[in-house]
């Protein structure tokens, strides 16, 4: 049963009011014969019937206002020649909606290494992806230190000079999870520098040096650090090591230095004072469950910090072996990204270069860095008498936002106790 609908009388009209029905239910009507009066705010007209037949139902009463296209009555058509399209078009056809481009979600993970939130131009990202360059290792020569496409292009052509590819270490410090704080550029505390004279020489910055400079500056500028030192009497430990080192070397193939011993003590102490194994995250502290100890290593290129994962679960020989491997790889520039990531604390063996006291720079986002100094024979008071003892200073430089001196002290004492106590298990 076809419907008769409210027509659109006027281009912008959206509804019509039924005036008078000129045909009643049951009445016959011819095609085009006036069927009803309709009023809009633009025009008032008679509406001719679209069909010949009998009115069977009135769907909109006189006085009712209905939207354009709403059915207003039903007519049973007298069966005869077919009409054109059965229903009247309710109004001017809607213009086809133009094709809408789906909103492009530019994913951050577009396969670019070094996506640490720093801003790289589309060209730079594309080139880095194509040439598998880690952008963190690329020095920017653009305005404000920006990495330009040319910088990446240059980097892709010079494998030795620097910007390390995926297989090589790119940063001296463990790569951090994306931090919202951008590396503060050199401006903040810049002191005017007298320009070089004829006798001076210019040392150009390698990418690693540049990165170290940026990261050290960032660490010092943003972390309120405090530092605490304890002296450790390692006389017995040293004797023990002297006794064991040959056998150890023969069995394990690697040397038994103080480093794995100290790392073991540090790892155990972190289990005891877990707050030291943390990260400052702005409005909360993340206390890491795993103990991944980074070891700062000096190479020809600069400082590098490979990580011994789960150091607290490794035996002394395991530690020694792992450390030896990492150091070797570091020297040969063969460390992988994974070996440089996820450190939760850093151990700095400044003793290896003869230091007895040093204040290392924290490796963000870690909360602390531990320094082990050189073992030196000193006159010491033991049982109220002077003796010659082997003394190693160990210190902790820590982020005072995360914990206080008390915690630092607890930690250091724990390390000291282990180093001064019974020798470790082999």
**Residue 46 binds another protein (CB under 8 A):** yes
Compute the distance between CA of residue 187 and CA of residue 121 in angstroms, rounded to an integer: 23
DSSP three-state, residue 225? strand
Helix (H) or strand (E) holding 159: none
Of these, 85, 195, 354, 422, which contacts another protein (CB under 8 A)? 85
Residue 232 beta carbon to another protein: minimum distance, rounded to whole angstroms? 54
Report the residue number, 150 or 315, with the smaller CB distance to another protein: 150
Question: Does residue 367 contact residue 278 with C-beta atoms inside 8 Å?
Answer: yes
**Residue 47 binds another protein (CB under 8 A):** yes
**Residue 123 binds another protein (CB under 8 A):** yes
Q: Which residues pair with 304 in a beta bridge?
A: 297
Q: Which of 371, 370, 388, 372 is nearest to 380 (CA)?
A: 388
Residues near 302 by Cβ (< 8 Å), separated by ≥ 6? 172, 206, 208, 209, 212
Of these, 22, 64, 118, 149, which contacts another protein (CB under 8 A)? 149
**Residue 42 binds another protein (CB under 8 A):** yes
Q: Which of 177, 217, 219 is nearest to 398 (CA)?
A: 219
Of these, 2, 15, 19, 48, which contacts another protein (CB under 8 A)? 48
Report the residue number, 70 or 374, with the smaller CB distance to another protein: 70
Q: Is 146 exposed, middle or buried (0-12, 13-18, 19+ CB in 10 A)?
A: middle
Residue 274 beta carbon to another protein: minimum distance, rounded to whole angstroms? 46
284 flagged as catalytic? no
Q: Could you tell me the two tokens for 287? A: 């206390």
**Residue 50 binds another protein (CB under 8 A):** yes
Q: Which is the catalytic residue, given 110, 310, 328, 404?
A: 404
Residues 274-303 that bind another protein (CB under 8 A): none
Q: Which of 178, 248, 182, 251 is nearest to 217 (CA)?
A: 182
Of these, 148, 218, 292, 395, which contacts another protein (CB under 8 A)? 148
Q: Residue count at the site for another protein (CB under 8 A)?
A: 41
Residue 196 beta carbon to another protein: minimum distance, rounded to whole angstroms? 22
Residue 294 beta carbon to another protein: minimum distance, rounded to whole angstroms? 35
Compute the distance between CA of residue 18 and CA of residue 351 in angstroms, rounded to an integer: 99
Of these, 96, 109, 180, 192, which contacts another protein (CB under 8 A)? 96
400 flagged as catalytic? yes
**Residue 128 binds another protein (CB under 8 A):** no
Question: Does residue 369 contact residue 396 with C-beta atoms inside 8 Å?
Answer: yes
Distances (CA, A) of 102 to 95, 99, 109, 211: 20, 9, 19, 39
DSSP three-state, residue 189? coil
Report the residue number, 46 or 328, with the smaller CB distance to another protein: 46
Of these, 3, 17, 45, 287, which contacts another protein (CB under 8 A)? 45
The one segment of 38-46, 216-224, 276-284, 322-330 that binds another protein by CB under 8 A: 38-46
**Residue 86 binds another protein (CB under 8 A):** no
Of these, 79, 80, 93, 180, which contacts another protein (CB under 8 A)? 93
**Residue 8 binds another protein (CB under 8 A):** yes
Pairing of strands 278-280, 307-308: unpaired
Q: Which of 62, 55, 79, 65 is nearest to 4 (CA)?
A: 55
- Kindly list the catalytic residues: 400, 404
Contact residues: another protein, CB under 8 A: 5-11, 32, 38, 42-48, 50, 68-69, 83-85, 88-93, 96, 121-126, 142-143, 146, 148-150
């Amino acid at each position: 049963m076809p419907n008769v609908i409210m027509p659109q009388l006027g281009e912008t009209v959206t509804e019509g009011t039924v005036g008078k029905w000129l045909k009643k239910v049951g009445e016959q009507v011819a095609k085009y014969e006036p069927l009803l009066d309709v009023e809009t705010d633009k025009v008032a007209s008679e509406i001719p019937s679209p069909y010949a037949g009998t009115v069977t139902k009135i769907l909109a009463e006189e006085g009712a206002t209905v939207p354009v296209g709403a059915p207003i009555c039903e007519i049973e058509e007298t069966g005869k020649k077919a009409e054109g399209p059965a229903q009247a078009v309710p109004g001017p056809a809607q213009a086809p909606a133009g094709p809408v481009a789906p909103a492009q979600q530019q994913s951050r993970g577009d396969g670019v290494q070094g996506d640490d939130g720093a801003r790289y131009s589309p060209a730079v990202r594309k080139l880095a992806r194509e040439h598998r360059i880690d952008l963190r290792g690329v020095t920017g020569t653009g305005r404000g230190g920006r990495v330009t496409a040319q910088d990446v292009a240059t980097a892709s052509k010079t494998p030795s000079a620097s910007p390390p590819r995926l297989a090589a270490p790119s940063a001296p410090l463990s790569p951090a999870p994306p931090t919202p704080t951008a590396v503060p550029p050199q401006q903040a505390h810049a002191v005017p520098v007298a320009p070089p004279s004829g006798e001076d020489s210019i040392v150009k910055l390698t990418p690693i040096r540049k990165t170290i400079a940026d990261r050290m500056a960032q660490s010092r500028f943003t972390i309120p650090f405090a530092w605490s030192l304890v002296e450790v009497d390692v006389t017995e430990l040293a004797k023990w090591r002297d006794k064991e080192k040959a056998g150890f070397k023969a069995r394990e193939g690697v040397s038994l230095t103080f480093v794995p011993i100290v790392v073991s003590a540090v790892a155990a102490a972190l289990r005891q004072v877990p707050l030291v194994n943390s990260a400052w995250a702005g409005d909360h502290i993340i206390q890491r469950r795993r103990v991944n100890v980074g070891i700062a290593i000096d190479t020809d290129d600069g400082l590098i910090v490979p990580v011994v994962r789960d150091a607290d679960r490794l035996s002394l020989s395991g530690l020694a072996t792992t450390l030896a491997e990492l150091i070797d790889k570091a020297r040969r520039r063969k460390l992988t990204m994974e070996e440089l990531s996820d450190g939760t604390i850093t151990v700095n063996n400044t003793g290896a270069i003869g230091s007895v006291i040093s204040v290392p720079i924290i490796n963000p986002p870690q909360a602390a860095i531990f320094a082990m100094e050189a073992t030196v024979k000193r006159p010491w008071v033991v049982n109220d008498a002077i003796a010659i003892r082997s003394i190693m200073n160990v210190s902790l430089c820590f982020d005072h936002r995360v914990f206080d001196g008390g915690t630092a002290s607890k930690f250091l004492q724990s390390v000291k106790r282990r180093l001064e106590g019974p020798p470790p298990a082999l």
